[in-house]
Amino acid sequence: MKCLSSSPMAPDSARPETSADTRINLVGLSRDSLRETLGTLGQKPFRAKQLWHWMYHRGATDFAAMTDLAKDLRAKLEDHCVVARPTLAREQISTDGTRKWLLAFADGQKAETVFIPEEDRGAVCVSSQVGCTLTCRFCHTGTQRLVRNLTPAEIVGQFMVARDSCGEWPTPTDERRMLSNVVMMGMGEPLYNFDNVATALKIVMADDGIALGKRRITLSTSGVVPEIHRCGAELGVNLAVSLHAPDDDTRSLIMPINKKYPLKDLMDACRNYPGASNARRITFEYVMLKGINDTISHARALVKLVKDIPCKFNLIPFNVWPGSLYECSDPQTVEKFAQILWDAGYSAPVRTPRGRDILAACGQLKTDSERLSAKEQRLRDAAEAEAAQQAWAEKEASF
């Protein structure tokens, strides 16, 4: 199936979620909440099943199209409820086929969603927050202050808009689907918005709707240690951890969250991640930053750090963005780094950057809400980089 610029569903699905509209949006309600909501309209619980099918299997947004519901019920639903998506504010298509959608929510806030197509499948990269509280130095989203968490409707709505755009309704019943995976790797830290992310992912996983299995969903965290266990226990999805450094000094420099949850705690949480096994490995993401975290000794330290954890690596070439402070490591450096990990028995592919020309690659997403000026950030970084490099140089001899 090819991704189309619009689908037959598009005119309906473009119905805006406006703040003036006080009707209840049925999208994003857990199954229990949907039953309760219909109960308040005097409806029996089985109606929830029918509506679920229309919303998440068929992609319908118009009650009039739900032909197995009685006419008077359809009218009642129309009066009290909506099936709303975020509004598409802008769509960009990269030369490599990657698509980025800027979506506007009812209150005017915006977030970005990316679709990364492969030959016969593809991943939808979904945002969990508008902005981010964390200030990872290499990340464009990190320059944007947190505005708010996204609601379950806004999270699952991103996937639904992607489907509208790619014409992938109704849900394919066999394995052939272009939008085959979800990665919670967009804007924000999903484990700082766990409840809403969990509600949305349970909707995405439910097998009488969108029906994406838990193995097709990956949640990426910067390392919010106390929530990691819940993610495995309640959702059972794949875990990716933005590791990016093998020692606390370097990691705290580029990822301030490390000061709160240092590597020892993070590695313990990974070791205890429910369901992790050699068949289902944790992915450690590692952005290659020239002169910061990319030496042979960093690679060796990494091997020691992850000992006994069923894991694989994903080496990400640093993606630049306006005002970014780092450079990507040279290809030869990345190759040597990867080789050390392979030699130690770990899979360590280098991720091919996708959608760089439209700022859709890892770490390039951003909407509004400024945090620091580029100059302020540059000054702060220069001072801290020097301190961390000194600390690493002192330690390097031991690896």
The yes or no reply on residue 147 touching ligand SF4 (CB under 6 A) is no
For the record, the structure tokens of 88 come out as 């598409």
* DSSP structure class, residue 135: -
The yes or no reply on residue 319 touching ligand SF4 (CB under 6 A) is no
Beta carbon nearer to ligand SAH, 139 or 204: 139
Contact at 8 Å (CB) between 164 and 85?
A: yes
- Strands lying side by side in the sheet with 238-242: 87-93, 99-104, 110-117, 122-125, 181-184, 217-221, 238-242, 282-288, 311-317
Subset of 189-248 contacting ligand SF4 (CB under 6 A): 189, 222, 242
- The one segment of 8-16, 78-86, 227-235, 314-322 that binds ligand SAH by CB under 6 A: 314-322
Residue 375 burial (10 A CB sphere; 0-12, 13-18, 19+): exposed
Q: How far is CA 186 from CA 66, 125, 129, 141, in A?
A: 33, 5, 9, 9
Determine how many CB atoms are found less than 10 A away from the CB of residue 91: 16
Beta carbon nearer to ligand SAH, 81 or 184: 184
Residue count of the chain, please give it: 399
Beta carbon nearer to ligand SAH, 164 or 189: 189
The yes or no reply on residue 318 touching ligand SAH (CB under 6 A) is yes
d(CA 64, CA 47): 15
Subset of 108-147 contacting ligand SAH (CB under 6 A): 136, 138-139
When CB distances are held under 5 to 8 angstroms depending on the partner's kind, the choice from ligand SF4, ligand SAH, none that residue 319 binds is: ligand SAH
Contact at 8 Å (CB) between 204 and 157?
A: no
Determine how many CB atoms are found less than 10 A away from the CB of residue 7: 17
Beta carbon nearer to ligand SAH, 15 or 351: 351
Tell me, yes or no, if 362 is annotated catalytic. yes
Beta carbon nearer to ligand SF4, 188 or 209: 188
Q: How far is the CB of 348 from ligand SAH (least distance, A)?
A: 15
Quick note: the x/- pattern for ligand SF4 over 116-135, rule CB under 6 A, is: ----------------x-x-
d(CA 266, CA 207): 32
- According to CB under 6 A, which one of 164, 168, 285, 294 is a site residue for ligand SAH? 285
For the record, the structure tokens of 78 come out as 């129309």
- The residue annotated as part of the active site, out of 112, 154, 168, 189, is 112
Quick note: the x/- pattern for ligand SF4 over 244-263, rule CB under 6 A, is: --------------------
- According to CB under 6 A, which one of 29, 106, 139, 150 is a site residue for ligand SF4? 139
Contact at 8 Å (CB) between 319 and 329?
A: no
Beta carbon nearer to ligand SF4, 163 or 356: 356
Give the distance from CA 122 to its chain's centroid.
14
The yes or no reply on residue 292 touching ligand SF4 (CB under 6 A) is no
Site of interaction with ligand SAH (CB under 6 A): 136, 138-139, 185, 189, 220-222, 242, 285, 287, 316, 318-319, 362-363
Site of interaction with ligand SF4 (CB under 6 A): 132, 134, 136, 139, 141-142, 188-189, 222, 242
- Show which residues are catalytic: 112, 362
